[in-house]
């Protein structure tokens, strides 16, 4: 029997579907995407921000087809095929796009070496202190109030530390950068934790509310976001503790996210 996640809505919807329709012609870069995946959306946002030509191919990583497994043996999105060569992992792909398409602007990394290093420090913070806490919160069950509150407090702590570094309107100021790209898919999904787990943007701080609004209204974000009711169906499984994604399995086992 296929895991319940395998039955997700098969294609992107809303503005994301319009974006998909614009990227069906073959290109040097083929983007193997799962419309529903926040890690995947990072790369999709970067492609749209930089105006990189790409062909979009929708895959369901819970139904691991042979060709996709040749692209990424781990069977996870996002992945790309660039001139016949396969690359995967969202953070690796974001840097790959910067290196491979330097003439496509805007650059998502600052030109100054110190500021580039600082970006990587806070990307690491998001990866280790924000995303896992968000997932632990969503997966915490209402009949485990102490576990739920601990996850909520950890998320607030991680977000507040990041908030102190935000120059506004984006992390680095006027320039939209990789820190913003790495974070924003969880901002656009924080309605899940707000409606079901007691999260409030204003409890992070007034600065966070402004930053989150700037991120979620960015055009590249809107163009890669599907309809909320389709996203909600996926996260219902996390809220019930039934999700079988590799990330969900890692959270249950106390392992780092894959």
Catalytic residues, by residue number, are: 37
Distance CA 94, CA 96 (A): 5
Helix, strand or coil, per DSSP, at residue 58: strand
Burial of residue 99 (CB within 10 Å: 0-12, 13-18, 19+) is exposed
Distance CA 197, CA 252 (A): 18
Residue with tokens 């399995």: 249
Which pair of structure tokens corresponds to residue 230? 């389709």
Residue with tokens 């990330």: 247
Distance CA 211, CA 201 (A): 10
Contact 200, 156 (CB under 8 A): no
């Amino acid at each position: 029997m296929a895991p319940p996640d395998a039955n997700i809505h098969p294609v992107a919807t809303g503005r994301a579907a319009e974006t998909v329709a614009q990227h069906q012609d073959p290109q040097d870069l083929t983007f193997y995407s799962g419309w529903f995946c926040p890690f995947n959306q990072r790369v999709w946002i970067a492609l749209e921000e930089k105006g990189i030509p790409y062909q979009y191919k929708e895959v369901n990583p819970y139904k691991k087809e042979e060709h996709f497994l040749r692209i990424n043996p781990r069977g996870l999105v996002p992945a790309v095929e660039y001139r016949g060569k396969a690359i995967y992992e969202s953070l690796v792909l974001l840097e790959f796009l910067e290196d491979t398409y330097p003439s496509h602007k805007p650059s998502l990394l600052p030109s100054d070496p110190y500021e580039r290093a600082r970006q990587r420090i806070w990307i690491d913070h998001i990866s280790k202190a924000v995303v896992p806490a968000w997932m632990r919160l969503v997966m915490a069950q209402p009949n485990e109030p102490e576990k739920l509150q601990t996850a909520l407090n950890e998320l607030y702590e991680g977000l507040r530390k990041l908030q102190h570094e935000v120059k506004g309107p984006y992390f680095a100021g006027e320039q939209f950068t990789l820190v913003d790209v790495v974070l924003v898919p969880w901002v656009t999904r924080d309605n899940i934790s707000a409606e079901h787990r007691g999260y409030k943007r204003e409890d992070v701080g007034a600065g966070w509310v402004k930053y989150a609004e700037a991120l979620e209204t960015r055009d590249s974000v809107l163009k890669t976001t599907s309809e909320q009711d389709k996203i909600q169906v996926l996260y219902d499984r996390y809220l019930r503790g039934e999700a079988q994604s590799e990330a969900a399995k890692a959270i249950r086992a106390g392992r780092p996210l894959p």
